[in-house]
């Protein structure tokens, strides 16, 4: 049974409903998942972290079993600013004024915005397998366009990508998560079942597409405004990426993040593909050990 000892609950935050698990005692630690997953992606690392931290594991809005705003022109409900505001409100409701954040994929984009908009609350930030969204788009070339083709497909106007995905949700999940070759047994059966159950809920596929549409529009507006105003990540950062994935091949991640952050930056590659916390949990935990500093 995954997440033994964790509570499972639903909370209202920033006008949306969030499913979450939590456990542990100690400094608060927020873990944010990626696409097309749920908080279940942390099942190999969260129980260990809960031995030293108060661990909070939400499903992001639109994902998992959290609330799913409707599709709307401009995709404002899925801006990383709104998704970050959910997390800030959730942690306030749980009694945590300041906290550490560990994040992956889309959740790391939410965490980046959280550190910009609520910088006085984020003590330490770990991002996994991303560089800033603005950096991706401003450096777009053939490698990125082909390697991350889903960014451009999912951002197409509603309902084109939704219709393509809904023709066979499980097949899309398999194709999307095996761009680095993996068999169906790669994900823990309970975690995989949670991902697929969530994907089959009304509104999840639409929410995922809205997330990516926001990334091509309103998120870039917010990111450019932050850059123009000199708003940068102030807390220490741990930047990790999978050595078998694309990020380290296309970019110099530590150097690139220094264009967006004023605090100390450390990190490096993990011997994994894109799904670091599920593929190389021991290495991830060992790296987090010194960085999080309870």
Q: What amino acid positions are annotated as catalytic residues? A: 105, 274
Backbone angles phi, psi at 127, to 5 degrees: -115, 145
Backbone angles phi, psi at 49, to 5 degrees: -65, -30
How far is the C-alpha of 107 from the C-alpha of 127, rounded, in Å?
Answer: 9
Buried b (16+ CB within 10 A) or exposed e, 56-79: bbbbbbbbbbbbbbebeeebebbb
Separation in Å, CA 71 to CA 53, 85, 155, 173, 221: 36, 19, 12, 21, 19
Separation in Å, CA 268 to CA 23, 74, 112, 283: 29, 35, 18, 11
Separation in Å, CA 12 to CA 66, 82, 226, 260: 10, 14, 28, 31
């Amino acid at each position: 049974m995954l997440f033994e000892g964790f509570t499972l609950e639903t909370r209202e935050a920033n006008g949306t409903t969030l499913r979450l698990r939590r456990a542990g005692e100690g400094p608060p630690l927020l873990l944010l998942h990626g696409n097309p997953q749920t908080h279940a992606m942390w099942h190999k690392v969260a129980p260990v972290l809960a031995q030293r931290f108060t661990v909070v594991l939400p499903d992001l809005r639109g994902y998992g079993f959290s609330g799913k705003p409707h599709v709307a022109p401009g995709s404002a409900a899925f801006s990383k600013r709104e998704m970050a505001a959910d997390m800030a409100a959730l942690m306030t409701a749980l009694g945590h004024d300041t906290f550490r954040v560990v994040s992956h994929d889309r959740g790391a984009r939410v965490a980046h915005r959280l550190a910009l908009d609520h910088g006085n609350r984020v003590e330490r930030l770990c991002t996994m397998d991303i560089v800033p969204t603005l950096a991706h788009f401003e450096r777009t070339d053939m490698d990125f366009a082909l390697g991350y083709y889903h960014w451009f497909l999912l951002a197409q106007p509603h309902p084109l990508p939704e219709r393509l995905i809904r023709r066979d949700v499980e097949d899309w999940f398999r194709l999307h998560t095996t761009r680095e070759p993996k068999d169906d047994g790669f994900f823990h059966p309970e975690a995989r079942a949670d991902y697929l159950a969530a994907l089959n809920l009304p509104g999840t596929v639409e929410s995922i597409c809205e997330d990516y549409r926001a990334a091509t529009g309103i998120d870039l507006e917010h990111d450019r405004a932050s850059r123009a105003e000199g708003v940068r990540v102030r807390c220490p950062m741990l930047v990790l990426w999978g050595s078998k994935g694309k990020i380290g091949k296309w970019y110099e991640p530590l150097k690139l993040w220094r264009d967006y952050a004023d605090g100390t930056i450390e990190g490096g590659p993990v011997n994994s593909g894109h799904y670091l916390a599920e593929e190389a949990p021991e290495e991830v935990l060992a790296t987090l050990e010194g960085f999080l500093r309870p």
